[in-house]
Structure 1
Amino acid sequence: MKTSAIKWPRLLLAATGVLALLAGCDFGKPKPPPPTTYISVDWSALPAVSDADLMAGYTAWNSACQRLAKDATWGATCAAAAQVPAQPAAVRAFLQNQLQVYSLRSGQDQDRGLITGYYEPVYPGSLARDDQHTVPVLGVPDDLIVVALDSVYPELKGKRLRGRLDGHVLRPYDDASAINQKPVNAPTLAWLTNPMDLQFLQIQGSGRIQLDSGRQLRIGYADQNGWPYKPVGRWLVEQGLLKKEEVSMGKIRDWATANPARVPELLASNPSYVFFSTRPDSNEGPRGSLNVPLTAGYSVAIDRKVIPLGSLLWLNTTSPDGKTIVRPVAAQDTGGAIAGEVRADLFWGTGDKAGELAGNMKQQGQIWLLWPKGAQPPKVQ
């Protein structure tokens, strides 16, 4: 059915009913955290940063300025940034003249939160199915309906309802278990060899598929089935199969390799399912939610209900091997698992080395927001 043929008033009434139904059900989604607050502080409150990290973080943020040129908050600051010489002293002066510093605090007035990592994986695959390549990487299904709820209810800004039409009724789309068990009306972009590769590809949101020809097919997030994300690592902990402090991508993969018969059960514990689209071949980083290439080590995914996309942040944390990380970073991506309070996901880059760092990163850290002077700090939704 073509979208133009849908009777929207009836569809929106159905969507409201589905929303109420979903609101009344517990899908294992964690309770929302207490409100996050911004506390204005002086520039001297920021930990010192090297010139190299300053320039790399500033350059990553500045790379999105073309997209922010018409933004009511960032437009003037981005225009001024175009005139700043690429020199540490000039950049420091520009930032201090243009931006106010806010410490990000949790609802309990804590200035520390969880900093994790993500990366762009590379997995072996094929454009055609064969005995070895049996796991499909799906594009967006033809019957997936997406309703922007804020078009009717402004208080639901950014909320979308996803489902499929059953006659004139909009019903929730299939969860991951159902999609894995029966075909859906969606294009297959490629075929992988391991179902855990697909799960990690969906968690990261983008990746590359190494073809036998030597080419790497690039794919990125296109849409999602509408079900909340639940980490498969949580299921392993709930089943007593791993301890909470042991959970990492490596440990999860090790368990799956040792227990292939239970992998479908593991995957079914996460009802969320991500659909992909192909991206142009390029050596640039994957594009995040802001649609600019991510910069390894200097782009982060955030909860956009707390931190607006395009913001410049100051991060103080450690890497999994204990090295201190202090640098400006650009809020250029989002993720279903990145929610609430003092929270960010640091992009580590492409390939196995980046994946090892990302998979093991569960660090405590502090975040400061650098916000244009004279503008009201963002309102936490």
Structure 2
Amino acid sequence: MRAPFRILAVVAALMAATPLPAQILDFEALDGWRDDRHAEALVSFLRTCDLIDAPDWRPICAMAADVPQDDISARSFFELFFKPVVVGEPPALFTGYFEPELEGSPVRSGRFQYPLYRRPPELRDGTVFHSRAAIDNGALAGRGLEIAWLDDPIDVYFLQIQGSGRIRMTDGTVVRLGYAGANGHAYRSVGQEMVRRGTHSMDQVSAQEIASYVRRNPGPGRELLHSNPSFVFFRQIGTLGAQDGPIGAMGRSITTLRSVAIDPKFTPLGAPVWIEKDGRAPIRRLMVAQDTGGAIKGMQRADIFYGTGAGAGDAAGTVKDGGRMVLLLPIDRAYAMLEGG
């Protein structure tokens, strides 16, 4: 799901040159702004700020490194150098994702029959490769591309949707996997396909229900998963500590409930984003746009990173909420956006 980091200067230039429906707000208009723990958001912002290759961001990032990491100082920093901007028309659509933690084997054996593949050397970005159905039916078998084997095809599928994960091998070692590329097919929502087929209504669809349906109906369930032809390949990451989050689209670790995946056509990677998520578990919190995803499209669209493991998966899997998403942009950039220049 996670796309590799691209040149941020290009995205920033496109945003600055393209007029978008936008509204500048005061910080007082952000619901719950003063109650957030801004120092946590500043730490997340500093993880990737140096990667934003645009002239108006560079001095801000340099000054951010010297801000004392207490909430009052961090809030003052954001208020001094940024303007809140609503791009597009709310309500937003918020979903959630997480880093799975699964059991696996380095070789095919016993219950471990479902492979995770490394990127084939002949795959080129921007080209269309074998579909999910073709790969599941053996298009890559016997080539030694398997990184690990899992015991459940639905776990393979959702690991690809999340784009990263931790695999606890049968020998007790833990392997960290990250996104290495995709097969070039457009992502199609399995949940929307279930609604189209009439097996579920939209309010019944969640990650948990998709998993339950596929496990109850292994034959039709496998065919249902093939309705999404997109397929993700992985790479093994040996540089992360156990406390580190997975690698996002900017090539750095992301942070639980402080990082979001966004559509970089409308939200610059690395930018702070104020999240006002409604629904059963409301969120009012400053996060940072540090990831992307094949299903994350639009101005008011964000996928919230909920952390690692089964508990994070339970929390993320039911999120499908409205609300409002507000970008924090350098002041000159915010006003230039309104003017389309």
Could you say which TM-score interval applies, normalised by the shorter chain? 0.7 to 0.9
1:173 aligns to 2:129 (yes or no): yes
Task: Give 2:66's match in structure 1, choosing from 67, 78, 83.
Answer: 83
> Relative to structure 1, is the Cα distance of residues 202 and 230 closer, same or farther in structure 2, using a 3 angstrom cutoff?
same
Q: Secondary structure at the match of 1:328?
A: strand
CA offset at residue 101 of structure 1?
1.6
State the alpha-carbon separation in 2 of the partners of residues 228 and 332 from structure 1: 22
* Alignment check: 8 A CA contact 2:130 2:139 kept: no
1:61-210 correspondence to structure 2 within 5 Å = 61-68=45-52, 70-105=53-88, 110-146=89-125, 161-162=126-127, 172-184=128-140, 185=143, 187-210=145-168
State the alpha-carbon separation in 2 of the partners of residues 354 and 83 from structure 1: 33
Q: Which residue of 2 aligns with 1:239?
A: 197
State the alpha-carbon separation in 2 of the partners of residues 346 and 305 from structure 1: 18
State the alpha-carbon separation in 1 of the partners of residues 339 and 107 from structure 2: 48
1:252 aligns to 2:235 (yes or no): no
CA offset at residue 282 of structure 1?
2.0
Q: Secondary structure at the match of 1:371?
A: strand
Which entry has the higher C-alpha Rg, 1 or 2? 1
Task: Give 2:252's match in structure 1, choosing from 269, 292, 313.
Answer: 292
State the alpha-carbon separation in 2 of the partners of residues 56 and 292 from structure 1: 16
* Alignment check: 8 A CA contact 1:140 1:186 kept: no
Task: Give 2:290's match in structure 1, choosing from 332, 336, 344.
Answer: 332
Unaligned runs of 5+ in 2: 1-18
* Alignment check: 8 A CA contact 2:105 2:170 kept: yes
CA offset at residue 175 of structure 1?
1.0
State the alpha-carbon separation in 1 of the partners of residues 300 and 20 from structure 2: 8
CA offset at residue 51 of structure 1?
5.1
State the alpha-carbon separation in 1 of the partners of residues 161 and 338 from structure 2: 28
* Alignment check: 8 A CA contact 2:38 2:70 kept: no
For residues 227-250 of structure 1, the C-alpha deviation after alignment (integer angstroms, 9 at most, x for no partner) is: 011111222222222221111111
CA offset at residue 348 of structure 1?
0.1
Q: Secondary structure at the match of 1:112?
A: coil
CA offset at residue 211 of structure 1?
1.0
* Alignment check: 8 A CA contact 2:261 2:292 kept: yes
* Alignment check: 8 A CA contact 1:306 1:379 kept: no
CA offset at residue 318 of structure 1?
3.4
CA offset at residue 362 of structure 1?
0.4
Question: TM-score normalised to the size of structure 2?
Answer: 0.88
Task: Give 1:265's match in structure 2, choosing from 223, 243, 255.
Answer: 223
CA offset at residue 37 of structure 1?
2.1
State the alpha-carbon separation in 1 of the partners of residues 175 and 70 from structure 2: 37
Q: Secondary structure at the match of 1:316?
A: strand
CA offset at residue 123 of structure 1?
1.5
Structure with larger RCO (C-alpha < 8 A, sep 6+) = 2
Q: Secondary structure at the match of 2:37?
A: helix
Q: Which residue of 2 aligns with 1:24?
A: none
For residues 254-292 of structure 1, the C-alpha deviation after alignment (integer angstroms, 9 at most, x for no partner) is: 111111122221121000000110011521000100111
Q: Which residue of 2 aligns with 1:165?
A: none
State the alpha-carbon separation in 1 of the partners of residues 134 and 338 from structure 2: 39
State the alpha-carbon separation in 1 of the partners of residues 44 and 221 from structure 2: 39
- Partner AA of 1:344 in structure 2: A
State the alpha-carbon separation in 2 of the partners of residues 273 and 378 from structure 1: 38
Q: Secondary structure at the match of 1:293?
A: coil
Count of residues in Structure 1 that have an aligned counterpart in Structure 2: 316
Q: Secondary structure at the match of 1:66?
A: helix
For residues 60-111 of structure 1, the C-alpha deviation after alignment (integer angstroms, 9 at most, x for no partner) is: 112212333x432321100011121112222222212111121122xxxx32
* Alignment check: 8 A CA contact 1:141 1:186 kept: no
State the alpha-carbon separation in 2 of the partners of residues 245 and 89 from structure 1: 41
> Relative to structure 1, is the Cα distance of residues 264 and 378 closer, same or farther in structure 2, using a 3 angstrom cutoff?
farther
> How big is the alpha-carbon RMSD for the aligned residues of Structure 1 and Structure 2?
1.9
Q: Which residue of 2 aligns with 1:32?
A: none
* Alignment check: 8 A CA contact 1:36 1:340 kept: no
Counting aligned pairs with the same residue, the percent is 35
- Partner AA of 1:127 in structure 2: P
Q: Secondary structure at the match of 1:92?
A: helix
Task: Give 1:282's match in structure 2, choosing from 202, 226, 241.
Answer: 241
Question: TM-score normalised to the size of structure 1?
Answer: 0.79
